[in-house]
Structure 1
């Protein structure tokens, strides 16, 4: 997903905050080199963007890979973070998640992009959402296919996902932190979010019953309500 995945949040968030969404390197409208991909580099990209826009401090929210980038930002520069939201997050790819990322990488190497996304969506969305919103699901697949993402960029991004490890540094995070996860998240299951919560002192966790990996898209009304409540404290 590119920055358009935040569309439903911007509508509500912008009533209270100036909202800035962007594409990570190699995604959407942001160029990138497939030889230069890591969570740390993407965090540096965000810090450079903040400098360019003269933003001194902000609330940070990231979904999936974006949550790992947000972890890295607050560890590097806690002084610029008002609060932190980590959605569908992880700090280690040991076990299931590592196997899943390796499977995605292997599928990308062997399949056409459309074939890959037809399979990939099964990790991101719940059966209920797919049953109730078939046209939206197809639109999401078509959007991803039509953006013509480079296979090399996608593989490099999944390698960055796979290589992310922050378990030994999460205890450095002291800003207000909210973690959310869907109970039916097949991309990064509940246990991985709980690991993160246990390592960040004072952090909170919300589990969306029967929610998937992108529960901000599946259930935007409740997601926006809970996350805004957190930011507006």
Structure 2
């Protein structure tokens, strides 16, 4: 898979692995890289079947497959220990990593993630699938901001969103791959295994997230033996983009404590 290794390159540098959500692109983490690369070795990647990582995904593609693909990448670049940061679908990959290879993870930060399906998110993803199948990529991209950001932020950042939409449409993944990725996250359920995950875990959630109810992160914080919740008031599903100053402060505070 396409990847980049940024920031510190010395042997003593702690490693961060950043895994984005449904879009799968390393580009998602642009607002975080300036504050992370001074102190950490940072690995970002485009997930298989998205961005610069072309692939034809299997019909039964799963979050476990995504975790195995990431483990193959990390083995190839000789990452033996890391702090993992995952947004939404990327957070599901983190939970799967914690089950498949717990010794890899020093800590993890899961942003607006979940451990099993819930009716509200199922409805949102059904709408997104229908948009893609019935109306095509342009309608899917146009609707995306409505699921990711607060209404006032959308209104105030229309020019940036227009550029983002144009980029997303120009680099839109194979629609069948995207539908398989949505099916993978819809089928994810590790509820029965949460008590076995000992990795120190910060759950970052947003009270105004309209895609994933913040209570799903509260549930994870309660169920994970070493989980804790940081509940943010503003930013929607992607506050790392819409309110990066607040998000970055919470993230850096946690990573500093883990060090």
TM-score range with shorter-chain normalisation? over 0.9
Say if 2:28 is the partner of 1:5: yes
* Aligned-CA RMSD value: 1.2
CA distance in 2, matches of 1:210, 1:123: 14
Structure 1 residue 210 displacement after superposition: 2.5
Report whether the alignment pairs 1:134 with 2:158: yes
What is the aligned partner in structure 1 of residue 125 from structure 2?
Answer: 101
Q: How does 1:143-154 map to 2 (within 5 A)?
A: 143-154=167-178
Structure 1 residue 86: deviation in Å?
Answer: 0.3
Q: 1:88 aligns with which of 112, 116, 141?
A: 112
TM-score, normalised via structure 2 length: 0.87
CA contact (8 A) 1:179 1:197 kept: yes
Higher relative contact order (CA 8 A, sep 6+): 1
1:39-50 aligned at under 5 Å gives the runs: 39-50=63-74
- The TM-score, its normalising length taken from structure 1, stands at 0.96
Q: How many residues are aligned here?
A: 233
Matches within 5 A, 1:1-233: 1=23, 2-35=25-58, 37-233=61-257
1:131-172 residue CA offsets vs partner (Å, 9 max, x unmatched): 221111222211211103111111111111101111111111
Cα distance in 1 for residues equivalent to 2:160 and 2:86 = 22
> Could you tell me whether the CA contact under 8 Å between 2:117 and 2:186 is conserved in 1?
yes
Gaps of 5+ in 2: 1-22
Q: Which residue matches 2:8?
A: none
**CA separation in 1, counterparts of 2:194 and 2:233?**
26
Question: Is the contact made by 2:206 and 2:234 (CA closer than 8 Å) also made in structure 1?
Answer: yes
Normalized per residue, the structure richer in strand is 2
Superposition deviation, residue 26 in structure 1 = 0.8
Q: Which runs of 4+ in 1 moved over 4 A?
A: none
